């Protein structure tokens, strides 16, 4: 029984280390990208790269935080992290447009709750 518990802790540590390294690489890529590009000369496709990198960073932080708190990792936690990262990115995009109202925020939260409910109901047990 001890060996299994020790193996699970080792697997969890390895998983967290890999996710932390991926987060560091993503953060470094974001910093380098922001330092090396000029928004005036960039095309629309290039200006979407920071949004994707920030989404990835929020996703990894959410997964790492959930794994550390619960001391195990499940596929459902990954889905929740993806929903959380998407909600954060949409709020950031709305705020960049200058149009975040209480209605927008409540609608986004409601859609996220509906998505989580859908994922929870359709997830294999």
Q: Quote the CA–CA distance of 94 and 125 in Å, as a whole number.
A: 36
Q: Tokens in use for 19?
A: 């996710």
pTM over 0.75: no
CA dihedral (48, 50, 53, 59) positive or negative: negative
Question: Cα separation of 16 and 36, whole Å?
Answer: 30
Q: How many domains does the chain have?
A: 1
- Please give the chain's pLDDT, 125 residues, in tens: 456 777 777 777 787 788 788 888 888 888 888 788 777 777 777 778 888 888 888 888 888 888 888 777 777 788 888 888 988 888 888 888 777 788 888 888 898 888 888 877 776 65
What residues make up the domain containing 96? 2-122
């Amino acid at each position: 029984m001890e060996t299994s518990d020790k193996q699970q802790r080792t697997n969890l540590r390895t998983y967290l280390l890999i996710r932390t390294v991926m987060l560091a690489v993503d953060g470094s890529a974001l910093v380098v990208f922001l330092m090396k590009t000029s928004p005036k000369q960039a095309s629309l496709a290039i200006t979407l790269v920071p949004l994707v990198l920030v989404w990835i960073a929020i996703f990894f932080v959410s997964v790492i935080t959930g794994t550390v708190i619960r001391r195990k990792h499940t596929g459902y936690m990954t889905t929740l992290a993806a929903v959380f990262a998407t909600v954060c990115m949409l709020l950031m995009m709305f705020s960049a447009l200058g149009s975040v109202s209480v209605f927008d925020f409540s609608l986004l939260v409601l859609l996220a709750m509906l998505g989580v409910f859908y994922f929870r109901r359709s997830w294999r047990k």
